[in-house]
Amino acid sequence: MPQSDLVRHGVTAASVLQCQGGDAFRAVMEDQVTRACDWYDRAFATLPPEDRAAQKPGLIMAAIYRALLDEIVRDNYDVLSHRIALTPLRKLWIAWKTARRP
């Protein structure tokens, strides 16, 4: 996480390493998720349609990572107390749906 984001929200690196969450840490995580989603949206919007077929593996992985970000949000950014993950079946489903898109 960028040090500037930690400082802006009053979160220390030591508190993160000691898995101490709280509202300030959630705010940092919300910033990170928002930033990542914005970058995914920009990347998808600028990918020319004729390049989509060649980029299927990357698009599949991006869809999986985006779903993981959605799960982090659904779990109220609680990434310090437990691991947030997608099941292999859900990853397969996302991969299949993404691969079928033109």
Q: Which residue has the tokens 């997608």?
A: 86
Residue length, the chain?
Answer: 102
- pLDDT at residue number 83: 94
Q: Which residue has the tokens 């995914």?
A: 40
Both tokens assigned to 31: 């910033």
Split into its structural domains, the chain has a count of 1
pLDDT tens, residue by residue, 6-41: 999 999 999 999 999 899 999 999 999 999 999 999
Rounded to an integer, what distance in angstroms lies between the CA atom of residue 2 and that of residue 14?
14
Reference 66, options 19, 89, 98; nearest CA is 98
- pLDDT at residue number 60: 96
Instruction: Report the predicted TM-score, pTM, of the whole model to 2 decimal places.
Output: 0.87
Rounded to an integer, what distance in angstroms lies between the CA atom of residue 100 and that of residue 11?
42
pLDDT tens, residue by residue, 46-75: 999 899 899 999 999 999 999 999 999 999
Half-sphere exposure of 82 (CA within 13 A, CB side): 6
Residue 59 CB burial class (10 angstroms; 0-12, 13-18, ≥19): buried
Domain coverage including residue 42: 3-100
* pLDDT higher than 80, residue 102: no
pLDDT tens, residue by residue, 44-54: 899 998 998 99
